[in-house]
A = this chain, B = another copy of it.
């Protein structure tokens, strides 16, 4: 039976988000490095600087289509004083008075020290070309190693997630593999009860599980990998079993439990974690998500997320997600674009709680609050363009105030 006495944790015992962050930042470190094929490295984070295996470019080469020649022989050339050069094959090199046709990227023939671009040359058949402008030594030439010397850093270890340009750049240096931060392996434990997986019609009182797909997508976004997803009964024994020996060879780096964090007589997540390992906190000054908790079991960090999807979402974003992002080598901050916008209507919040308020863009650089998570659950998040996080010390924002909005896209 459920009574008020079962309520836990009390507001005075709720962890402040600053303390939660400090706790996470105290142990969450990048996972061990792994080598991946360059083609699979988009979105990954370098485990160390990527070094050039050879000079880039590996030889002196033409940087434009034109004619390779000796720069000092072009002095005085102009449209009124075209200077003629004998054309020869690249294999013979450039002899005094000679030139070799080159395309951009081709090796600079021996004896040449500059390339005159096509637009400064005129055809003068047969077997010759007229030059109508002087060039300096090194004009339109890329020297061996000028973009990256062998052994120098192509990209620093501090680079953000690799994007297409990075992949192209590393490929141009001949890299086939790259050492990246490993993906933290996540076990996701879904506390069953009244939720079922999609695929059959719900019986009376049942609803579909949103947390499994939600958490898998969030973990993937944050650079982690859900290697084990299981549903458990709503009992302390089942939760303890799910927490047993999470490490080891087939192990995981972090465990998420969704459900059973509340104050009901069938909520056992915190007690199970306390028995299986250690409960570091239960109850956070956060809304939605205030019944979240965290601790360790069998050497692995465990996060307790509320079963209600909107609460699960924000407990993930601000607690578990921070840890997974750090373990994936990413910034711990919320992975949303941030923009300062004005609120078209007042936002009210409870002092002492970090409150997440879903908002919609109205055009004109403003946002307006949507019905709260308490009222409409995950629908509030699905409808939102972004979220305003009202700090613990704030009662909210008056109409017209400038606020930081975390935009979904």
A208-B171 Cα distance, complex, nearest whole Å: 7
Query: Contact flags (1/0) for A383-409 with B, using CB distance below 8 Å?
Result: 010000000000000000000000011
List 17 interface pairs A-B (beta carbons < 8 Å), by A numbering.
Answer: A2-B66, A3-B101, A3-B123, A4-B123, A38-B213, A39-B216, A42-B221, A56-B379, A65-B263, A105-B194, A105-B308, A163-B408, A164-B218, A168-B213, A168-B381, A172-B378, A175-B198
CB of A122 within 8 A of chain B?
yes
Closest to A148 in B: B379
Closest to A216 in B: B39
Closest to A159 in B: B382
Query: Contact flags (1/0) for A1-21 with B, using CB distance below 8 Å?
Result: 111110100000000000000
List, in ascending order, chain B residues with CB within 8 A of A106's CB. 194, 205
A343 to chain B: closest CB distance in Å?
21
Q: Which of A120-139 contact B (CB under 8 A)?
A: 121-123, 125, 129
- Choice from B1, B38, B42, B217 contacting A220 with Cβ under 8 Å: B42
**Copies of this chain:** 2
Contact call A382/B4, Cβ cutoff below 8 A: no
CB of A71 within 8 A of chain B?
no
Contact call A378/B169, Cβ cutoff below 8 A: yes
Known: A171-B212, A214-B165. A176 touches B199 (CB 8 A): yes
The CB with the most chain B CB atoms within 10 A, among A171, A209, A376, A384, is that of A171
A146-B142 Cα distance, complex, nearest whole Å: 67
List, in ascending order, chain B residues with CB within 8 A of A39's CB. 213, 216-217
List, in ascending order, chain B residues with CB within 8 A of A174's CB. 198, 202, 208
Contact call A198/B212, Cβ cutoff below 8 A: no
Count, chain A residues at interface, CB 8 A: 97
Contact call A217/B163, Cβ cutoff below 8 A: yes
CB of A320 within 8 A of chain B?
no
- Choice from B67, B146, B214, B221 contacting A168 with Cβ under 8 Å: B214
A362 to chain B: closest CB distance in Å?
17
Contact call B210/A118, Cβ cutoff below 8 A: no
A6-B194 Cα distance, complex, nearest whole Å: 74
List, in ascending order, chain B residues with CB within 8 A of A173's CB. 208
- Choice from B54, B103, B121, B147 contacting A262 with Cβ under 8 Å: B103
CB of A160 within 8 A of chain B?
yes
CB of A337 within 8 A of chain B?
yes
A154-B211 Cα distance, complex, nearest whole Å: 17
Contact call A210/B168, Cβ cutoff below 8 A: yes
Known: A194-B106, A382-B154. A202 touches B313 (CB 8 A): no
Contact call B208/A101, Cβ cutoff below 8 A: no
CB of A275 within 8 A of chain B?
no
CB of A181 within 8 A of chain B?
no
Q: Which of A45-103 contact B (CB under 8 A)?
A: 54, 56-59, 61, 63, 65-67, 87, 101-103
